Structure 1
Amino acid sequence: MINLIKKKFNDIKFRNKLLLSHLLIALIPIILLGLLSFFQSYKIQMKELKSEAESSINQASNILDYKINRYNMLCEFMVLDRDFSGVFIKDYENKYFNMYLDFRDIMDPMVSQIKFMDDDIEEITFYTSGDLLGIRGNILPLSELKNKPWYDGFRGRHWVVYDEKVYLVQELISNLKDSNFMVISINYESLFSETAKLSDYIFVNIINQKENIIYSENRLGFNESLTQDEFSEYPIKIERKLDNIGWTINYFISNSNAYVNAMTIFKITLFVIFLSLIITFFLIYVFSNNFTRRIIRLKDKVDKVEQNNLDIMIQSTSKDEFGELTNGIGRMLERINSLILQVYQAEISKKESEYNKLISQINPHFLYNTLSFINWRALNKKDIETSYMVTTLGKFYRTTLNKGKNKVTIETEIEHIKAYLDLQYVMSEGRFEVDYSIDNHILKHYIIHFILQPIVENAIKHGFVGPDSQDNHIIISAHMVNDEIKIMVSDNGVGMSIQQQTQLLSTDHGGCGVKNVNDRIKLYYGNNYGLEIESQVNVGTKVVITLPFF
């Protein structure tokens, strides 16, 4: 069954394949998004609500912790003040003037300062069993504190929230007969103000150490606690415990808003999907026609190539993959034509090479015999100079021809160039000098033949051309440098401009086959080797040949 479907699909035209495949791909999102969009939207909404609630509860808990710690520090500030605490334990023995001075200079400034520092402090009341009763309206008997409904006999410092009022109770320093307490009344709404700035879909309460609700706030009308049905509307709970007090802030997050938003997104998604399907069908139809038209055009050209029409032009201006494929086929066709031409030219060169090899096997014998006869005649006539030139010329051609081999040792190449320079020296009547600096360790190393003479010839022919040219000097050196052989030919001739240096290596007319030498080296050893030219006008020229040592 599957094979039959594949066969039917493969037999469909390419344009129809595009239409069918794209329509199937477009229908899949409708089915999947219809099933998943609602749940995904609901999940995202709940996640955002939870993230918002976590950020809000962290901020609220930090601020409330800060406020609690701030009031605790105010208490410590007052309690640890020896003069202030001493007022409550001092034995005045009816010395009311001294008592008046302590209130004026110590107690009243301290209380005023504390209330001035915080506007949310509504009252500071002191409860004592000592001598201070009746001195101020905010100094009451200890029995009144014990009669408070929220007092349970605690000692030290204690926070009390009762009937939407907040009290910070602090035990003061006492003596054996007196007990003293300070009660700071703090504004209830101000203390819990940060928990009131919430979303309409968050219910919040704060519980104390005994898990009693001390604060409850929301925008939907819940006051004390949530019923079982109400808990179903608030499925997510987040809690944070305060660091400086045993209170816990609880956030309950409603899912009703997430449900409404998810339904809205679901409806919009369905509309967009169906609209996109219509637009997609139209665009697929247009694009498929464009694609198939380009494929048919390329197929027609390839058919012509198959019929041996290799001169056809295959090219595209498009930058997409299809354009790259078209241009790639075009470049491949150009490469095929180029290879055909290279094979043809290589065949011609092969024939010429075979002819030249045949000639080279005939000409040297005739040349050597002729030079030997001329040398014999010169010796008979005692013409030493002519005999020297003929002998040197024979040596020069013997190293030049090299028995038809294309590789020689560096020693043979140096002997060849020495013979050439000896001839040039005699013919130019000694108008130049030559120095050699050759590393003996590389003399037996083989290199390709005939690479020095074109460079030396170029130095003599083009470097020493001035009418008043004197003290002409050529230096030839060969050394080993970093696993490479560096052969250098330098002269103190007229030099070259940058344009002339470029032309020397780029055209065959630059000077006595220098470009040919560079091309041969790169062809034989690779592009990392060849010639480098350094030259300055009226200063001289240096040519460095770089060869591998292997």
Structure 2
Amino acid sequence: MIGWIKSRFNDIRFRNKLLLSHLVIALIPILLLGLLSFIQSYRIQMKELRSEAEASLEQVASIMDYKINRYNTLSEFMVLNREFSQIFTKDYDDNYYNMYLDFRDIMEPLISNIKMMDDNIEGITFYTSGELLGIRNNILPIGEFRSQAWYDGFRGRRWVVDGEKLYLVQELISNPKDSNFMVISIQHDSIFGDLDNLSEHVSVHIEDSDQHVIFQENNKRNAVNGLGKKETSDLSLNRSLSSNGWTIHYSLLNTNAYANAMGIFQITLFVIILSLIITFLLIYVISNNFTRRILRLKYKVDKVERNNLEVIIQSSSRDEFGELTNGIGKMLRRINSLISQVYHAEIAKKESEYNRLISQINPHFLYNTLSFIRWRAEKKADIETSYMVSALARFYRTTLNQGRHMTTIEAETQHIKAYLDLQLIMNDGLFDVDYDIDEELLQAEVIHFVLQPIVENAIKHGFVKPDATDYCIQITINRVNEGIKLAVTDNGAGMMPEQIVRLLTSENGGCGVRNVNDRIKLYYGQDYGLAIRSEPGHGTEVSMVIPTSTA
């Protein structure tokens, strides 16, 4: 990772490196200052919120204790009323009149008074296993009480929250054979209503003595996970109620503190951005002035890279940049001198090899051809002899090319056709010739004498089986994206990869082909040259691509 960062940094321009390094140096202390101010502000805000939350929690707990104790007192008032309790333990022996009197004079007035004392009591229900069943619709069998989901066999008094229902369950005085319970149904909001109106930055939930969540703020219920536990917040407080064992949990959200701290941070950020802009402008002016001469030198070196060696690189300054510029200028002038010397020497060398090749080919080929003409003439006189003499004349005329090194594709085509006409007669039609030449390219210029050595090599080394009857040479000249492509393809013996390498580099067996490859690179550049594709037994293709030009 460090290596990758270093590599990317090295690829950045020098002026941008100066800008980046100075900005980083200026940015670090400014960001640290902004971050420190944000953290400090956040801590102060959280401290104030905690203090407010503790006071609010204490107030809420006191109010709830008061409300719950009030209902506990009402419940005890009823239970401790001796006449009321004896109704559930008295043996009436089917004396319903006495039972009626007790209900009319004791039970109903007491219940009515209790409801009048608190409008939030929705109803009072009694569960018994004694003789009172069926007397009133609010007296039910003890079995229904025990079938409630929240009943777990408890005794005494308990507060029960079942969804949105709130009950105060009180065991009544019982005899050994009877079990009696009183259930006071209380409006849910009378106890919990105020908790839904707390600050949006505070989340509250209440757990009973078994750590079951019995209340969660409506607008924050989605903050409770599947186990009924509130997820961890930035600040949590709790307070147990002395009246019934419930525990109030306060979770203080950091939204408000974060928002206040962000306000301070935004001001700091504005100062940071303003400082960075001013710093950037100053650094830009300084670095631009510092790197202007480097950019000018780079611009000239880029021209040299694009083969413009006539660029003058010179400086009148005497500092390190001036010395570097003048040194590069001297080096460029020396390179130009050496290139000129090497170029002219290479041209002379290649032309000497070319002339030597022509001088080797002409006498040898002329001797063989004239001998064959003499033999044919002595054997019989026919028009074929005349044709060969004509072809020979055309061949030598195009071969000499009036001493010029460049020719047109049309002239080069005439030369190779004359050469192949002679070879077909001399080899008794051993092979066929196919021409595929784009006529629009006939006036384009090409180096003279580039196809004949390749065709000669194909006939000499490709067509080695004298009894074969399907040999063929194809001459193709067409346009491609890179320029003009000239190709010679045969279906002869083919070559191994090492033979291809020797053909382009060795003096033995492929002097003509190697000379053509070297001349192409010399005239057109190192990106050009011969391309050979061959496979033993499947023939050979020798091709070249030259830049487009017209005579």
Fold shared by both chains (TM-score > 0.5) = no
Q: Under TM normalisation by the shorter chain, which class is it?
A: 0.3 to 0.5
Q: TM-score, normalised by structure 1?
A: 0.43
**TM-score, normalised relative to structure 2:** 0.43
